[in-house]
Amino acid sequence: MPAPKDLMLLLPLAFLALQASLCHGACVEVDSDTEAEVDTGFKLGCISCKRRGEVTAEAYVEWEFKPFNDSESTPIYSYVEKNSKFHDPRFENRLEWRGSNNTNDLQDGSIYIHNVTFNDSGTYICTFYRTLKYTNYEFQTNHTKNIFLTVVPKLTRGMASILSEVMMYVSIIGLQLWLVVEMIYCYRKIAAAGEEALRESAAEYLAIASESKDNCAGEQVAE
């Protein structure tokens, strides 16, 4: 049976597990990557979380594309009730839906571009059209996100990524050194405590032996 102290440590973990089970996969809005390598695939991420979870809703997504050297955007793709529709022949055979499939709570409208070309550089506009359904009325809303995509010959690691990786390794090495120092300190402390105990035991044994010797000598004199 676990000790009371162990039970107290387990209570926060149990509470967190209960909270996680009640979340039912919370929606988190994450920005899309903005740099793609030519002749590879690339995911254009677009997430729009429905704020009121107690209200049912229906949504559809439309994508537009505007090259950097153009002032107007053109529709390229739409997703309505699990049906995809292509509006631009440049992307017709290269676009793939990578968003969620639940039309009653559509929150992820991401798409995937196969065989990226340099002509794919530009601004991608993702728009969520959502209808919130209340008891007596419906409310129309929309949410737009712009993704500025640059196609490069080869991806290079950013300075922030390199620095974060270096800091991670430095933290790991520092933690390991700290653990080694703690182990050495604890070992020396335990060894010193053991030596002190041995000295006390030896002194106590010598005192008892000396007292026994004195008692024997006194008994012999009395005889």
pLDDT digits (tens, 9 = 90+) for 56-105: 888 999 999 999 988 899 999 999 888 888 888 889 889 999 998 876 67
Domain ranges of the chain: 27-155, 157-213
pLDDT computed for residue 92 by the predictor: 81
The average pLDDT across 47-51 equals 87
Q: Residue 223: its pLDDT value, please? A: 58
pLDDT for residue 134 is more than 80: yes
% of the chain surpassing 70 pLDDT: 75
Most confidently predicted of 57-61, 120-124, 190-194: 120-124
More confident residue, 98 or 50: 98
Model pTM score: 0.59
What are the Cα distances from residue 217, in Å, to 203, 204, 210, 213, 214? 21, 20, 11, 6, 5
CA distance 60 to 62: 7
Contact yes or no for 166/152 (Cβ under 8 A):
no
**End-to-end Cα spacing for the chain:** 63
Q: Strand 74-80: give its sheet, edge to edge.
A: 35-37, 138-152, 122-133, 56-67, 74-80, 83-86
Confidence of residue 7 (pLDDT cuts 50, 70, 90): very low
Distances in Å between the alpha carbon of 39 and those of 122, 124, 151, 170?
16, 18, 10, 36
Hey, which residues does 149 pair with through a beta bridge? 122
What value does the mean pLDDT of the chain take? 80
> Is the separation of the CB atoms in 145 and 48 below 8 Å?
yes
Architecture of domain 27-155: Sandwich (2.60)
- Residue count of the chain, please give it: 223
Per-residue confidence band for 221, with pLDDT thresholds at 50, 70 and 90: low
pLDDT value at residue 31: 87
Q: Confirm if 27 and 40 have CB atoms less than 8 A apart.
A: no
Q: What is the mean pLDDT of residues 31-48?
A: 92
